[in-house]
Amino acid sequence: MAASDTKFLTDLPRFVFFTGKGGVGKTSIACASALALTRVGKTVLLVSTDPASNVGQVFGLTIGNTITAIESVPGLSALEIDPEQAAEAYRDRIVGPVRGLLPEAEIASITEQLSGSCTTEVASFDEFTALLTDPDEQLSQFDHVLFDTAPTGHTIRLLQLPGNWTDFLAAGKGDASCLGPLAGLDKQKAMYAAAVAALADPDRTRLVLVARPSRSALNEIDRTHTELAALGLGRQYVVVNAVLPAPVDDTDPLAAAVHRREQAALAALPAPLAALPQDRLELKAANMVGLDALARLFDTASGAVDSAPARDIGEMPDLADAPLRALIDEIEVDGHGLVMCMGKGGVGKTTVAAAIAVALAERGHPVHLTTTDPAAHLTDTLRGGIEHLHVSRIDPAEAARAYQDRVMATKGAHLDEAGRATLAEDLRSPCTEEVAVFQAFSKVIQESRHTFVVVDTAPTGHTLLLLDATGSYHREITRQMGQGLHYTTPLMRLQDPDSTKVLLITLAETTPVLEAAALQDDLQRADIHPWAWVINNCVAAAAPISPLLRRRADAELEQIETVRTRLSDRCTVIPLLPTEPVGVPALAALTAATAAVPLP
């Protein structure tokens, strides 16, 4: 396959969005696409809003929030939008119209409510709108604009809310939620409508769903496809990245087993995805850094293995470290507590959470395994029950309905008909679900005072919003209780290492490690300190034999060393397995070994 053979680059419209979870390779594919387009004479702007963006690293230079020419690639420029800077500017623009109309205390409250991750997400898209609509024709020089990190259905639904929160606030009829004012300013509504229209127009915009060939990753993009198609963005393309080529011989049982597993996942592709135009990119031996590597991403003619040899087996370092079993030994000591598995989608949070819960239950402890992830499939992972283990799911839709009813019955009771209509509209926003989940989450935290509770959290952005809600609740209780009274809020329990152990799940690859490190920084700013890191699906820990996998193992070592020496004092490495750990026996096997798998 060459770039000219890829379906997603054929008859390309002006705007292209690449969407996918951390670590699936969307940045590499976006960069390689930009390079391919410039080599046929197109001018391209590459835009990223990923807070862990490594676009600059890929091209070997620093890129900021201004359009920067890539001198080594004539015709290519790049722009990295800083989400936090965008959010700050957005807050100023939203709060500005109501300054002087409301008391300072209410202004402060609105500003605080606009501090969540939803605000950051929408603020980043606010930057997109100027690029999609280009009212000043600043981008007229570019034939194509490629976006690394597409807006989610969550964001688009938010932008479609038609209410006028400026009038609502100015009239003093109610407060803003974390989202209220974002959707309502009239001066922004026309631009938002134009941006959403551009996204839905296949002659102007193409959405590319990027995944890896695993059951969970393909299920994730299936959900994204369904959600976006329901909003009118139905013309989508699928790119399955890093597909292991068929082994040339049977010398490496691991390579053969992984290939069979990936092909089975691809054969079971959900029908709506299978109907979309699809490209499959072979796994490459080297990391996608530098022009030479990017130029080979779409190429299969020369084979997947680079010419540089992998280390001999004897030269690979021993990766024996604290095994998952040892972490569980430490977790078990107190006899109860909260264990939270966090990280980006697709890194194996559900598997690790289920394995920990099964191990504790097998040791005779009552365990509650639950998830706040709307895409989680705990029952599919467990495929059965086990004594002492209770499994549940915090249902966002159900929590949202209860929350909406409660707010309308309390705050809405004091509003006139127009005010109630506006409040009801705001409560239909997608973030209402996430905020409503907080109450169910608080009950889980309380339960962990007496038993083990293992939480498979939602993807990082959703998790941070949940913790924002926890922090807001903590501040409100602090104000209400005053000095001298004893109380313990959910945030205080999350901050207590004796009550809560936060595990960050990642892969031994650049983007997932960067994203997990950014999450750790965010948590630490809230005085929540991750207890351990888990590096999942590690090729280097699986003692591969095939040259391709040994080169991949080589590329992982730098990231493993970064985690173990710079990011965490406690780290577990789980090797890439021949089969996915699905079912109670397979999950139990993950924690049965007395040591992590070392390389010979």
Residues labelled as active-site residues = 23, 25-28, 50, 511
Starting at the edge strand found earlier in the chain, the sheet holding 532-538 runs 389-393, 367-371, 452-456, 337-342, 500-507, 532-538, 571-575
Residue with tokens 């283990």, as numbered in its chain: 389
* CA–CA separation, 245 and 466 (whole Å): 40
Q: Which residues contact 217 (CB under 8 A, 6 or more apart)?
A: 21, 24, 211, 346
Residue 273: closest CA among 230, 231, 232, 240 = 240
Dig out the tokens for 411 from the structure. 């705050």
C-alpha torsion 226→280→199→184, nearest 10: 60
Starting at the edge strand found earlier in the chain, the sheet holding 15-19 runs 68-69, 76-80, 44-48, 144-148, 15-19, 205-211, 236-243, 278-282
Which run of H or of E encompasses 486?
none
* CA–CA separation, 413 and 427 (whole Å): 15
E strand map for 361-489: 367-371, 389-393, 452-456
Helix (H, G, I), strand (E, B) or coil at 591: coil
Helix (H, G, I), strand (E, B) or coil at 557: helix
Dig out the tokens for 279 from the structure. 């490209």
Dig out the tokens for 249 from the structure. 């011989």
Q: Which residues contact 385 (CB under 8 A, 6 or more apart)?
A: 391, 584
Residue with tokens 């300013």, as numbered in its chain: 185
Q: Which residues contact 288 (CB under 8 A, 6 or more apart)?
A: 25, 28, 31, 32, 58, 294, 297
